[in-house]
């Protein structure tokens, strides 16, 4: 038996996050470091079809919008800008919980093309949670201005996910981005993220913990990622799993955590 996730289903989990028309549309998340142009991409894709509010129970601003592509309706969620998904702050917690529990059909990681080194850390973290990732290399106009050349194909091969260059403020690359989103959300393109391999000791610990995690929570949340978080001593994730799935199986997750402690 897995989590009650099976009985509650994805749309219910999404409703917790106030996603409108949950279940009937494709849900796309926009993640990224602060100030990389997420909201600019969001506005360019959704135009006036959007509403803003707060994340449930949080003072963090939340924007949701929609667009139509190829006759399909997409709901776009602008996540708060973060440097990581380790729930160090409310923003990071909101972003992590959405990716982990609302399980968007695709996630766009907007990165600053002038500063890839800093931005790819978050992209790699998102790829540890979900396979359905598109990397949007934004501010490509700024990169060009600084004489920086980004080999998009090479980056895409290295990451194992589609990469689209954009200059969102000038509207450049947005139709390509939309096409890439729909390819991934509809399963026409299946990203194969190249994941970080950790030290032998950590990989060995993952190998021990992951089967147990799978036993307890099934395959609904990325089990390698949950195992990594447990090894890291992340009790907040266990609390979040309990909050969102609120059933006794997650108590077993806590027990698994205690075994490790």
Ligand X SMILES: Nc1nc2c(ncn2[C@@H]2O[C@H](COP(=O)(O)OP(=O)(O)OP(=O)(O)O)[C@@H](O)[C@H]2O)c(=O)[nH]1
Among residues 15, 142, 176, 254, the one that binds ligand X under rule CB under 6 A: 142
| Count of C-beta atoms within a 10 Å radius of residue 198 | 13
Of the listed pieces 3-11, 166-174, 221-229, 235-243, which binds ligand X according to CB under 6 A?
166-174
d(CA 177, CA 76): 13
Least distance CB 169 / Mg ion (angstroms)? 13
Cβ density class 44-79: b for 16+ within 10 Å, e for less: bbbeeebeeeebeeeeeebbbbbbebeeeebbbbbb
**Is 37 one of the binding residues for ligand X (CB under 6 A)?**
yes
* DSSP per-residue string spanning 143-196: HHHTT----HHHHHHHHTS-EEE-BGGGTBTHHHHHHHHHHHHTTSS-----PP
Least distance CB 227 / ligand X (angstroms)? 30
Per-residue binding letters, 90-129, with ligand X (x by CB under 6 A): ----------------------------------------
By CB under 6 A, the count of residues binding ligand X is: 16
Dihedral sign, Cα of residue 87, residue 135, residue 118, residue 36: negative
Among residues 26, 28, 33, 107, the one that binds another protein under rule CB under 8 A: 33
Q: 198 and 241 in contact (C-beta within 8 Å)? A: no
**Is 235 one of the binding residues for another protein (CB under 8 A)?**
no
**Is 203 one of the binding residues for another protein (CB under 8 A)?**
no
d(CA 199, CA 14): 35
Half-sphere exposure of 88 (CA within 13 A, CB side): 6
Cβ-proximal residue to Mg ion, closest one = 39
From the list another protein, Mg ion, ligand X, none, which binds 88 (C-beta under 5 to 8 Å, kind-based)? Answer: another protein
Among residues 27, 32, 181, 226, the one that binds ligand X under rule CB under 6 A: 32
Maximum distance among all alpha carbons in the chain? 56
Of the listed pieces 3-11, 110-118, 164-172, 216-224, which binds another protein according to CB under 8 A?
110-118
From the list another protein, Mg ion, ligand X, none, which binds 40 (C-beta under 5 to 8 Å, kind-based)? Answer: ligand X
Q: 109 and 32 in contact (C-beta within 8 Å)? A: yes
Dihedral sign, Cα of residue 125, residue 127, residue 133, residue 135: positive
From the list ligand X, another protein, Mg ion, none, which binds 239 (C-beta under 5 to 8 Å, kind-based)? Answer: none
Among residues 11, 84, 239, 242, the one that binds another protein under rule CB under 8 A: 84
> Tokens in use for 248?
């006794």
**Is 252 one of the binding residues for another protein (CB under 8 A)?**
no
Per-residue binding letters, 187-226, with ligand X (x by CB under 6 A): ----------------------------------------
Contact residues for ligand X, defined by CB under 6 A = 32, 34-40, 81, 138-139, 141-142, 167-169
């Amino acid at each position: 038996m897995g989590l009650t996730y099976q009985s509650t289903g994805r749309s219910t989990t999404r409703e917790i996050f106030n996603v409108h028309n949950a279940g009937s549309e494709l849900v796309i998340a926009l993640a990224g470091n602060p100030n990389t142009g997420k909201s600019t991409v969001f506005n360019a894709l959704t135009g006036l079809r959007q509403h803003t509010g707060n994340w449930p129970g949080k003072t963090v601003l939340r924007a949701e919008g929609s667009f139509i592509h190829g006759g399909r309706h997409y709901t776009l969620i602008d996540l708060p800008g973060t440097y990581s998904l380790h729930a160090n702050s409310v923003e990071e917690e909101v972003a992590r919980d959405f990716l982990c529990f609302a399980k968007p059909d695709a996630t766009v990681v907007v990165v600053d093309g002038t500063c890839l080194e800093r931005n790819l850390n978050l992209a790699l973290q998102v790829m540890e949670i979900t396979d359905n990732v598109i990397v949007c290399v934004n501010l490509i106009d700024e990169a060009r201005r600084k004489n920086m050349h980004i080999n998009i194909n090479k980056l895409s091969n290295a990451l194992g996910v589609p990469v689209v260059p954009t200059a969102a403020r000038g509207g450049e690359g947005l139709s390509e981005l939309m096409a890439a989103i729909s390819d991934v959300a509809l399963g026409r393109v299946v990203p194969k993220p190249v994941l970080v391999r950790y030290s032998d000791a950590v990989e060995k610990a993952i190998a021990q913990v992951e089967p147990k995690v799978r036993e307890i929570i099934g395959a609904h949340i990325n089990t390698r990622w949950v195992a990594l978080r447990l090894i890291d001593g992340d009790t907040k994730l266990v609390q979040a799993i309990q909050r969102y799935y609120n059933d006794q199986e997650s108590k077993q997750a806590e027990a698994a955590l205690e075994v490790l402690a």
